Chain A
Amino acid sequence: MTGEVDRLHGEFEQLTGPTAPPSRRGPGGRPWASWVVLLLSLAYFFLPLVGTLLYSLREQPFLAAYAEMARDPQILSTLTYSFAIGVITIIVSIVLLVPTAFWVRLRLPRLRPIVEFVTLLPFVVPPIVLVFGLISTYSGPPLPFTGTNTGSDVLLTCAYVVLSFPYMYRSIDAGLRTIDIRTLTEASQSLGAGWFTLLWRVILPNLRVSILSGAFLTLAIVVGEFTIANFLARPMFATYLQLISGNLAYEPAAVALISFGITWAAMGLIALVGRGSQAKVELTGAH
């Protein structure tokens, strides 16, 4: 059968001259062009990583930069601090956005464009402008957040919650779209559940997968965030890396690789959690 088709195709080519190749075969049907593009891109993407790795290995004896890093108590403490802030950010973001998105879908559909607009605002207000506004507003009375460490921690976390709005709201809202919240609400209420039970034991478990992808993205952004942390003078991982990059020779290279590994891990978890769904569009703007 296939042979027959090939023969016919050959005859057709004799009649019409060579036909254009089947479109599966890429730019003008030249897979080699695709390979060239791919290999050049890979070179561009991997050379800086190779460079960092080689640089981190320059110090003698072998792996000394990594030994230094392991001995540096600040690495662990800033990493712990960053992860703690990241986790609190995610929790606050979920507590704030899940009930809101749920309620808007259930009762206030007319408010949806407004809520969506607000959650997109962080794309329009870059981190540097946000932290500028926060410091200008909250460095004096009536709410002098920046006066104390705890106040600055709160301000930092709240700024990150704002940064997480676009990702978290979008993933929560996408999750809500796939479940029948009206029926779930009526069913649980007729069984005597209150609003809290409904959200905590019915809605939230149903949103687990979609929330997780937004959460890991938020975690990756927060752990690597520099601008806001720097101006609020918080001991975050990225600000510490910036600090030692001026003073130490090789250790920063080792730490930069770790940082890349953390981003990999977060993205890997997103891919793992959201298997089957297509790649998400990520406009982070927090660089």
Chain B
Amino acid sequence: MTDLATTVDARVALPQRPGRRRAPWSLLGVVPFFAFALMFLVIPTTYLVVGSFQDQAGHLTAQNYLDLAQPRPANAYMVSIEISLVTAILGGILGFLLAYAVISGGLPRPIRTVVMTFSGVASNFAGVPLALAFMFTIGRTGFISVFLRTVLGWDIYGSGFTIYSKLGLEIVYLYFQLPLMVLIIAPAIDGLKKEWREASENAGASTFQYWRHIALPILMPSLLGSMILLFGNSFGAQATAFALTGGFIPLVTILIGSQLSGDTLGNQNLGYALAMGMVAIMGVTLVAYSWLSRRAERWQR
């Protein structure tokens, strides 16, 4: 009876059935990948998740997440979010301007290729060498600081500026944020059809009106999405800030680092919660980005 039912079923759903039967065997093909991901990504992350819900004696608790409101963790999130927001918005605007200039700004075509290639390099040029490059340039003895002091008589360090500060870090972060924006916004700018501009001009629209009513609304999802991506990019950054200021600027990544090397919070489990808060923010960032980029694609067909 059961056999008959199976046979009939098999005949009806012929294309699906063999695949489903063989499924357990063909699943073996992806076992190495999932085993690797489990071991070096999922289990370590889960370890942090579990630890973040335990107190130091191992009992279940949500106290660690409440403790994120303590001054040090809360301040770390604030500083990280502030720096990420500033560099995402500034990098986004400046990167868009640069991308627009080289793509449809009437510049010779080869310039576009050069700028795009350079953006690929600069968006990956980060961490220790980037921090050093800025120290050598506008650090206390960097050539720009020296030039301003000796030639123009303007001592920027005397007037309170230092590269080892929040502002300094933001200037450094822009070095990889801006080119990343150029790379990710370029397809959207390419998608702005010439016909739209011509049509709006024929209808008597001014340049301002064209941007206000046509170009910006079309670009908005891409612009927002890209800036969100930039936000995540700088939120997760650790090496550049560490190399530039040691641990002086209390970013979340820096605090996690010092917790990892020296248990500065005095509570391992609070450290886990700190890391999980970061993962949560990165997750929201990525979801928002993918939602916006799907909206943006509508205009890029």
A252 to B130, CA, bound (A): 12
Q: Given A49-B133, A126-B282, A284-B126, is A37 in contact with B47 using a C-beta cutoff of 8 Å?
A: no
Q: Count of B residues near A, CB < 8 Å? A: 98
Contact B106 A52 (CB under 8 A): no
A-B contact count (CB 8 A): 312
Contact A34 B107 (CB under 8 A): yes
Q: Count of A residues near B, CB < 8 Å? A: 99
Binds A, one of B3-11, B30-38, B56-64: B30-38
Contact B132 A52 (CB under 8 A): yes
A residues in contact with B137, CB < 8 Å: 47-48, 50-52, 55
Contact A285 B201 (CB under 8 A): no
Binds A, one of B67-75, B151-159, B230-238: B230-238
A125 shortest CB reach to chain B, Å: 6
A225 to B124, CA, bound (A): 10
B residues in contact with A161, CB < 8 Å: 36, 40
Q: Given A108-B26, A132-B260, A284-B126, is A279 in contact with B120 using a C-beta cutoff of 8 Å?
A: yes
Q: Given A45-B122, A282-B183, is A96 in contact with B256 using a C-beta cutoff of 8 Å?
A: no
Give the residue name and chain of the A residue nearest to B260 (CB): A132
Contact A131 B242 (CB under 8 A): no
A127 to B234, CA, bound (A): 12
B residues in contact with A263, CB < 8 Å: 121, 124-125
Contact A220 B238 (CB under 8 A): no
Tell whether A128 is near chain B: CB-to-CB under 8 Å: yes
Q: Given A37-B105, A38-B111, is A242 in contact with B180 using a C-beta cutoff of 8 Å?
A: no
A253 shortest CB reach to chain B, Å: 5
Tell whether B118 is near chain A: CB-to-CB under 8 Å: yes
A125 to B47, CA, bound (A): 13
Residues 1-43 of B, flagged 1 when their CB comes within 8 A of A and 0 if not, give 0000000000000000001000100110110111011011111
Tell whether A267 is near chain B: CB-to-CB under 8 Å: yes
Residues 162-180 of B, flagged 1 when their CB comes within 8 A of A and 0 if not, give 0000000000001110111
B272 shortest CB reach to chain A, Å: 8
Contact A282 B127 (CB under 8 A): no
A220 to B42, CA, bound (A): 25
Q: Given A37-B105, A38-B98, A284-B123, is A108 in contact with B29 using a C-beta cutoff of 8 Å?
A: yes
Contact A128 B143 (CB under 8 A): no
Give the residue name and chain of the A residue nearest to B98 (CB): A41
Q: Which of A12-38 contact B (CB under 8 A)?
A: 19-20, 23-29, 31, 33-35, 37-38
Q: Which of A38-87 contact B (CB under 8 A)?
A: 38, 41, 44-45, 47-52, 54-56
Contact A124 B124 (CB under 8 A): no
Interface centre among A20, A33, A111 (most CB of B within 10 A): A20
**Complex partner residue of A118 from B37, B133, B206, B253, CB under 8 angstroms:** B37
B residues in contact with A221, CB < 8 Å: 124
Give the residue name and chain of the B residue nearest to A133 (CB): B44
A133 to B276, CA, bound (A): 10
A residues in contact with B128, CB < 8 Å: 224, 226, 238, 241-242, 245, 256, 259
A209 shortest CB reach to chain B, Å: 17
Contact B143 A48 (CB under 8 A): no
Contact A132 B271 (CB under 8 A): yes
Tell whether B65 is near chain A: CB-to-CB under 8 Å: no
Contact B101 A279 (CB under 8 A): no
Tell whether A271 is near chain B: CB-to-CB under 8 Å: yes
Q: Which of B107-143 contact A (CB under 8 A)?
A: 107, 111, 115-130, 132-134, 136-138, 142-143
Tell whether B240 is near chain A: CB-to-CB under 8 Å: yes
Contact B105 A129 (CB under 8 A): no
Contact B232 A282 (CB under 8 A): no
A279 to B142, CA, bound (A): 34
Tell whether B267 is near chain A: CB-to-CB under 8 Å: no
A271 to B116, CA, bound (A): 10
Given contacts A51-B144, A133-B44, A137-B44, 20 further A-B contacts (CB under 8 A): A26-B105, A27-B207, A34-B107, A35-B107, A51-B136, A55-B142, A103-B29, A108-B27, A108-B30, A124-B279, A126-B235, A126-B237, A127-B236, A128-B236, A128-B256, A136-B48, A226-B128, A231-B261, A284-B124, A287-B176
Contacts A/B (CB < 8 Å), 25 sampled:
A19-B201, A20-B207, A31-B107, A34-B100, A34-B101, A34-B107, A38-B115, A41-B115, A44-B178, A45-B179, A47-B144, A100-B30, A104-B30, A118-B34, A126-B237, A126-B238, A126-B253, A126-B282, A127-B236, A130-B44, A134-B40, A221-B124, A242-B242, A281-B184, A282-B183
